[in-house]
Structure 1
Amino acid sequence: MAGRKDKAQSARVSRIVIAIAIGVLVGCLFAFLYPHGLFASDLPVQNRRLGKSEFLVQSSSPCESSERFKMLKGHVVSILEKNSQLEKRIKDLTGELRIVEQTKDHAQKQYLALSENHKAGPFGTVKGLRTNPTVIPDESVNPRLAKLLEKVSIQRELIVTLANSNVQPMLEVWFTSIQKVGIPNYLVVALDDQTEEFCKSHNVPVYTRDPDKSVDLIGKEGGNHQVSALKFRILREFLQLGYSVLLSDVDIVYLQNPFDHLYRDSDVESMSDGHSNMTAYGYNDVFDEPGMGWARYAHTMRIWVYNSGFFYIRPTLPSFELLDRVATRLSQEKAWDQAVFNEELFYPSRPGRDGLHASKRTMDMYLFMNSKVLFKTVRKDPKLRKLKPVIVHINYHPNKYPRMKAVVEFYVNGQQNALDSFPDGSE
């Protein structure tokens, strides 16, 4: 009985083992035949569905991309415009900061120099007063001009020229070059009605003086030298109103903003008629007199004259004295205004005469260039031709208008042979 029961249990175990073996075998077989499972056929359908949806997305993307591109392009243009405005503002602020720093430095020097009692510093550190204090503005002198200058000037500075209809072609080149550079603070003092109308028609800031019979005839009919002499009287009003003036003749082409290149540490900053470092900035000229034997050589200090057609003048007491002296002498003498201008600036005090105590600075002759430097030297030198001056003054040549146009062609329009046809001197 027991043996039969053991035998039955053994048979049941054998059947279980066989069933497990068969299951494993069947599983291996299915794994071999269907590696992705029994429902793998659904995957391609899903993939096809996804592919279709992707295709729909892709087919709609060009329109969306185009609109997106336009949006991005608009943002880029807007950013570039803002960047340009910021750069311009930074440049303006830099110029204003430089002026403020100069003013602060000048004020400190004035305070130190004008103190009642002060000791000299260590050897090599003592500096004398170079910048005289400006006068208190007096708008009652010319309320109409004062109102105009408030609109035109920047930091109480501006370029001023005098002109009548005799110089209209040159005047047009003059203010066109200023506008091209982007200089906003300039003013034409019109000496006749034609010039006033001409300036207004070209949106040029213009000022006409109140009638003055003593000077009206000179202003309307006078030539360059007569008008140049008149400017010293007119200039005085600008200074009385508290403005620093960059006085300019009309035979000048502007290529950079001159206010970015001024030092403002003297009563007068002027361009030179010199054509080299020696002649522009001064040199020791030895005079030889053999009859004196051992003392035959006499040393002299020389400098070529300042150009009275382009100078920066601050509203200081020495500046007023300079203008008064020059205007008075020109009304009493038959003299060239530039000669008188320099004599009053440079002649020292002596018995019977008190010299003018005005501080002076000579401008860089390659930045503030006269036409002798340009036509005799610069245009023939490959290195100097690459320099870009601030202004070019056609002061050494009579055929001013064609040379002014040639300067514009050379420096502005890049025509390299524009200056070649002109002789070094006058024709």
Structure 2
Amino acid sequence: MTVRSDGPLMRNYGQSMRGSRIAVAIAIGILLGCVCAFLFTHGFFGSDFSIQGHRAGIDTLKVDSSPCESSERINMLKSAFLSVSQKNSKLKKQVSELTEKLRFAEQAKDHAEKQFEVLGEKHKAGPFGTVKGLRTNPTVAPDESVNPRLAKILEKVAVQRELIVALANSNVKDMLEVWFTNIKRVGLPNYLVVALDDEIAHFCNSKDVPVYKRDPDEGIDSVAKTGGNHAVSGLKFRILREFLQLGYSVLLSDVDIVYLQNPFNHLYRDSDVESMTDGHDNMTAYGYDDVLDEPAMGWARYEHTMRIWVYNSGFFYIRPTIPSIELLDRVADRLSREKAWDQAVFNEELSFPSHPGYDGLHASRRTMDFYLFMNSKVLFKTLRKDSELSKFKPVIIHVNYHLDKLPRMKAVVDFYVNGKQDALNPFPDGSDWLPLTPQDTSVVS
């Protein structure tokens, strides 16, 4: 039995074999294509150049990698690394300094924010008798650019950013010597004389007294050098402003004052201005209800007024606050425009309330103990005549009520320092003669 090769079965087999061969050929072609693509990434025509370049790079590397040149390259890399390390160290130091400054700035910001919260935040009133208002204003930020030379002096002289300051020209040289001699005796290092002329500057230097001689100022130098007590008293408000701008609290002092104790131990520091009084007892010093009788008013004949004797502009403690600086500006401005007594202007600006056409100064104030910070009226009219009070030792004696200042200052030293019990006896209660006008009574300042 014969089978024909061109039967259906054989035809199917032949066709399948041909399909398999085609598939294998296609697979081989794809495989060869992948191999070529891998080996000749830059194409068949660029392969020679790539290989040559690759070989050239290898040859160069072989040349550069000689032991000598390799050592030099390592040294260069080390030097470069060292330089970068040093720069990095400097940068780290600068970053550290900036971080520290930023920390201080943030602390100052936090402090300012807390002050704002205290002043600006609304509070509920507490129980009866527990409510207290704010009296102590925050100090200003120090500004050394105002007077760099004075700032350096104050850094050396001041203690806890406060000091005694007195203005003086050659007219008060003898009183000035009594003034600083007793300050030294008490042991106070933080005091400064603002010399208004060259003679006082040389005198203070010869006595080892801290002194500051102002830079020339044509507008006020003539007043400083030749002016009397009134003119100098007006000048001090302008000069005092710089101390406050630099961030220092000042105990402003006239030179007709004898220091017997350290005044800084008896200050409260809770107000913008803390001043001695011209009052001579509790009523005149601290205030009282003064009743005026006007019979023509019938039932309303009695009119009540609140009275207090003036603060002494020759001895007061002033803190570096905005209201304090505003006070100095107001007084100095008025004295430049008006023929007025500086102590009267000083008290008016501190006391007058706001009213139509006038904005009052919002400064806090405190009256000093009139027995501790004593004026010469209290001393000569009251204390020396009382056997018990005469045993009391004040902090300072201000010879403000009398014209014969120098002999009375020396008598005060004899009485309290040298123990001469009769040293005050020869002097009358008041001065031998009286000024002609109220303005001339500025000797009290």
TM-score normalised by the chain length of structure 1: 0.74
What residue in structure 2 maps to residue 314 of structure 1?
A: 319
What residue in structure 2 maps to residue 269 of structure 1?
A: 274
Deviation of the 1:118 alpha carbon: 1.6
What is the CA–CA distance in structure 2 between the aligned matches of 1:382 and 1:131, rounded to whole Å?
39
1:426 aligned onto 2:431: yes
1:340 aligned onto 2:345: yes
Match for residue 370 of structure 1 among 361, 372, 375:
375
What is the CA–CA distance in structure 1 between the aligned matches of 2:130 and 2:418, rounded to whole Å?
48
Q: Counterpart of 1:114 in structure 2: which amino acid?
A: L
Query: 1:172-226: CA deviations, max 9, x gaps?
Result: 0000000000000000000000000000000000000110001100000000111
1:150 aligned onto 2:169: no
1:299 aligned onto 2:339: no
1:171 aligned onto 2:171: no
What residue in structure 1 maps to residue 204 of structure 2?
A: 199
Contact 1:110 1:131 in 2 (8 A): no
283 and 112 in structure 1: CA distance in 2 versus 1, 3 angstrom threshold: farther
Deviation of the 1:117 alpha carbon: 2.0
Deviation of the 1:115 alpha carbon: 4.0
1:147-296 matches, cutoff 5 A: 147-296=152-301
What residue in structure 1 maps to residue 421 of structure 2?
A: 416
Contact 1:322 1:356 in 2 (8 A): yes
Deviation of the 1:157 alpha carbon: 0.2
Paired positions, count:
322
Moved over 2 A (4+): 109-113
SS at match of 2:224: helix
What is the CA–CA distance in structure 1 between the aligned matches of 2:115 and 2:257, rounded to whole Å?
35
1:401 aligned onto 2:406: yes
What is the CA–CA distance in structure 2 between the aligned matches of 1:388 and 1:236, rounded to whole Å?
33
Larger Rg: 2
What is the CA–CA distance in structure 1 between the aligned matches of 2:116 and 2:134, rounded to whole Å?
9
Which runs of 5 or more structure 2 residues have no equivalent in the other structure?
Answer: 1-111, 433-445
SS at match of 2:124: coil
What is the CA–CA distance in structure 1 between the aligned matches of 2:193 and 2:273, rounded to whole Å?
21
Percent identical among aligned pairs is: 79
Please give the root-mean-square deviation of Cα atoms over the aligned residues, in Å.
Answer: 1.5
Q: Counterpart of 2:231 in structure 1: which amino acid?
A: Q
SS at match of 2:275: strand
What is the CA–CA distance in structure 2 between the aligned matches of 1:384 and 1:218, rounded to whole Å?
41
What is the CA–CA distance in structure 2 between the aligned matches of 1:336 and 1:301, rounded to whole Å?
23
Match for residue 132 of structure 1 among 114, 133, 137:
137
Deviation of the 1:342 alpha carbon: 0.1
What residue in structure 1 maps to residue 385 of structure 2?
A: 380
Deviation of the 1:119 alpha carbon: 1.2
Higher mean alpha-carbon deviation, 113-122 vs 161-170, is at 113-122
Contact 1:270 1:306 in 2 (8 A): yes
1:10-21 matches, cutoff 5 A: none
TM-score normalised by the chain length of structure 2: 0.71
What is the CA–CA distance in structure 2 between the aligned matches of 1:112 and 1:418, rounded to whole Å?
57
Contact 1:113 1:129 in 2 (8 A): no
SS at match of 1:287: strand
Which runs of 5 or more structure 1 residues have no equivalent in the other structure?
Answer: 1-106
SS at match of 2:403: coil
